Amino acid sequence: MEKTSRPPFRPTIIADRVVALCIVAVTAVFLMLTFGEVSAFAQNSAGRGPYFFPRLVLIFLLVAESFLLANVFSPRGTVQNGPRPTWRVASLVLATAAYCALIQFAGFLIASILFGIAVPLLLGRCTWVTIVTVALVYSIAVWLLFERVFLIILPASPFDIGF
């Protein structure tokens, strides 16, 4: 019999494919929802308001997910040591959902700092000083950009500390 170069089909490959397809499906649904009926405030924001930014992020996310799908559905499968990329992406999607929920309770800045710390940890980074520094600087810069330059009011902290 002739041998093929394909690895044996394992249940982990099926799980990776199911998770990858679910991630793409959820992102596609969220993207479709951004094209629904919008408020007058969003229409007057000239493309830079709170309804435009999620649409832009979701489009870039779908592009990035196409690489994940190409990897998961390739004939070589996803054989690696350590956590498989599909599960890392799934954990990032869950972290993003937690971030969105946390914004309502802790405010944009605090939630963004926590999210900025969580993402590198989920991706396997361990340098705490760098992670915390980048999370603080990036979150404060984005907050200042939206609040002061774009004049878009972001959810404030319930702790009455000015942000």
What are the pLDDT digits (tens) for 90-140? Answer: 888 888 888 888 888 888 899 999 999 998 988 888 888 999 999 999 999
Q: What is the pLDDT of residue 157?
A: 78
Q: End-to-end CA distance of the chain, in Å?
A: 69
Round the CA-based radius of gyration of the chain to a whole number and report it. Answer: 19
Q: Which residue has the higher pLDDT, 73 or 35?
A: 73
Give residue 82's pLDDT: 53
Would you say residue 45 has pLDDT above 90? no
pLDDT at 118: 92
Question: What pTM was computed for the model?
Answer: 0.56
